[in-house]
Structure 1
């Protein structure tokens, strides 16, 4: 049967740009009907540093998306990232009431696993089930309706700084919008670019954004590990700017027009022209200087991710991993796939949003993976408005909600 149409808006508030994407179900595909973008100067690595600037960027992006879609936007699903994000694996165990697992039992076992990883200053972004066990029978993904006396759940719980989440929510509210839900950016990107087969076999998603790089490791269909590295495309441009002593804007242009991470692709005689700080004078340098900078930074980024994975006890996930999927704007840098493959010792590819129609030629790129994924998340999880624009003390509301979690645990 055709899916019921409902417009959903994903709002990706990044360090370099704010992007609003509007979509709906069209049979079994996501029909993108509007998109709006605006430069972002109010966030740094997922943290609001200028509320006024962030609010204005949100307004501009949403207004542009409204005009293209021909619909008023009143609420959004908001992506979140940053080093304040933490992922933890935990377990919950309960006795089944009535001898048959019900949706209420699922809620109770998830509630039972929450308190051990949530501190008073943390906001719970997601509870992501990994698998269930019913009376010692493990490897179950949906136990509802099964007979048993005891239910155990392995969970991946994602939390963020309550204050940081509050500031992001408040910026969206000040732009006149309700927040339907807060969604981890690597989760939304994964929904847009990964296949079900990759998730089942095992895959490592690496989303290289402007200020951060998000990593999510999948195995057996579900997330096993998440991590946010405070390094992104901005760092590549900064390195070029400082290394060549040129303005940041000139460095960004140079990265896009002449950048590659593959030293072997550059001929010894190749040169490029650059403008120095504080002058319009043009000077010539060898292109391999630029390439060396990008090569070193890209390799360092992947080695930091690999080191983090191993240090936290998840290096074994690579043993049964089908490969690496790169997405985000940084994935477009020539040579990123090759270096990722070399560092991790696995096949690698660029991940683009799939199963989309409408403005697919516009949003079907790695840099729009998060925005498209937020739309898909909203379509598949049509929850009520979590935070309305008229709400006042959002931090107080978040803390009250967290207190209620502990009271609910049985």
Structure 2
């Protein structure tokens, strides 16, 4: 499986496999390239983006010794929108009990909700269910009732932005087919958030080059999504403007000496920057560099804080805020974030993969999305392997042509997936039918 993080400043490609000894995801190849042809997470030049993607894929293939054939890609950008909808279905009175099939029908109804012609659905996230007026139902399956309702968060994105991702990947490597496109902060959650954090309440903040993506989790599901049209590129631009140096040198300064919290900066050393076109080098105090970076990062964090407040979940984040993205490599960002946000802060390091292979290479916030994409794809493939061929129904109370809850393939988000039956012995231990169904929903709807 190929995981592709197509960002504003960089392209990350990971080629992965399943470790036969441990059953864990293993990284075989890593490819990175400088991104080109994107603005704030959206592709603006097909040829340039395809060339950058091709470079990253080639590097990953060379390192792994494998050819990529299918890819799972991330999507971000301020074109991403969220709308909460309410949907209702009736349950036949002679049955009077909610089944998996009923919940699937309800989600399918939500997928038909009219949206702008220039938008496509990326994800559908159920928030809560209501059975015969009883609200705050987490697991409606098996409950008695004749009326099922749900509040559902529908995540959409520009059709052109979504289609251009597939187009660029195909142009970069015609042998690679895009299998799925998912929201980047949702992908990152697989690699840097635990289930406990998602349940108690946590905000995932990915400070990318062009945008800052925010995803809030509570009770195990995404409750809020927001994309702020500012990112790490502004830090580089500020250094270039204030210090009057070329952009490449500004980027090097930021990466090599970047600190964004003056109170914690120790040595105020003198830095030298090469002059332009043979001119004498410039000397810059590190304290000045820090002041410039702190001012902009403080502004970005204030935007984040405002978004958390507007979400209504600011005081419900029991696990605080987890940061990912290249800008989180700046020294002092955790101290500054705690000061601005007034809550606990952690830098998210990807986990959940086999310790063998190239695991140490991706233990870095810049790989949070690509590792998360790989884990999402791995989870889908694992789900496939757990499905066994359909057996003849033995339950006399199930009518011919009607599916029991055990006949749903929970491993994918496509509502048109072939349904197969698992014997009780083959079900994953410790994983309830409801948990499997939630995973089915979370794994996105491939048909959109």
Superposition TM-score tier, normalisation by shorter sequence = 0.7 to 0.9
1:86 to 74, 81, 95: 81
Shift of 1:29: 3.1
- Is residue 50 from structure 1 mapped to residue 49 from structure 2 by the alignment? no
Q: Name the CA distance, whole Å, in 2 between partners of 1:268 and 1:62.
A: 40
Corresponding position of 1:341: 338
- Is residue 285 from structure 1 mapped to residue 284 from structure 2 by the alignment? yes
> What is the alpha-carbon root mean square deviation over aligned residues?
2.3
| Residue correspondence of structure 1 range 10-409 to structure 2 within 5 A | 10-26=3-19, 27=22, 29-97=24-92, 98-116=95-113, 118-175=115-172, 176=174, 177-266=176-265, 270-311=269-310, 314-357=311-354, 358-382=357-381, 383=412
Deviations 1:151-199 (A, max 9, x none): 2222221100111211222111222121111110000001110011110
Q: Name the CA distance, whole Å, in 2 between partners of 1:245 and 1:118.
A: 46
- The answer as to whether partners of 2:268 and 2:287 remain within 8 angstroms in 1 is no
Change beyond 3 A, Cα 1:21–1:146: farther
Corresponding position of 1:393: none
Shift of 1:287: 1.7
The two structures have a TM-score, normalised by structure 1, of: 0.87
Shift of 1:72: 1.6
Q: What is the number of equivalent residue pairs in this alignment?
A: 380
Q: Say which SS state the counterpart of residue 185 (structure 2) adopts.
A: helix
Q: Say which SS state the counterpart of residue 132 (structure 1) adopts.
A: strand
Higher relative contact order (CA 8 A, sep 6+): 1
Q: Name the CA distance, whole Å, in 1 between partners of 2:171 and 2:200.
A: 43
The two structures have a TM-score, normalised by structure 2, of: 0.80
Change beyond 3 A, Cα 1:283–1:51: same
Q: Name the CA distance, whole Å, in 2 between partners of 1:377 and 1:268.
A: 43
- The answer as to whether partners of 1:89 and 1:224 remain within 8 angstroms in 2 is no
- The answer as to whether partners of 1:42 and 1:53 remain within 8 angstroms in 2 is yes
Deviations 1:96-154 (A, max 9, x none): 24323233322221233345562221110011122323233444444334332222222
Q: Name the CA distance, whole Å, in 1 between partners of 2:338 and 2:9.
A: 27
* Segment drifting more, 83-92 vs 189-198: 83-92
Shift of 1:23: 2.1
Q: Say which SS state the counterpart of residue 346 (structure 1) adopts.
A: coil
Unmatched 5+ stretches in structure 1: 1-7, 387-401, 406-410
Deviations 1:357-376 (A, max 9, x none): 23110112110000010011
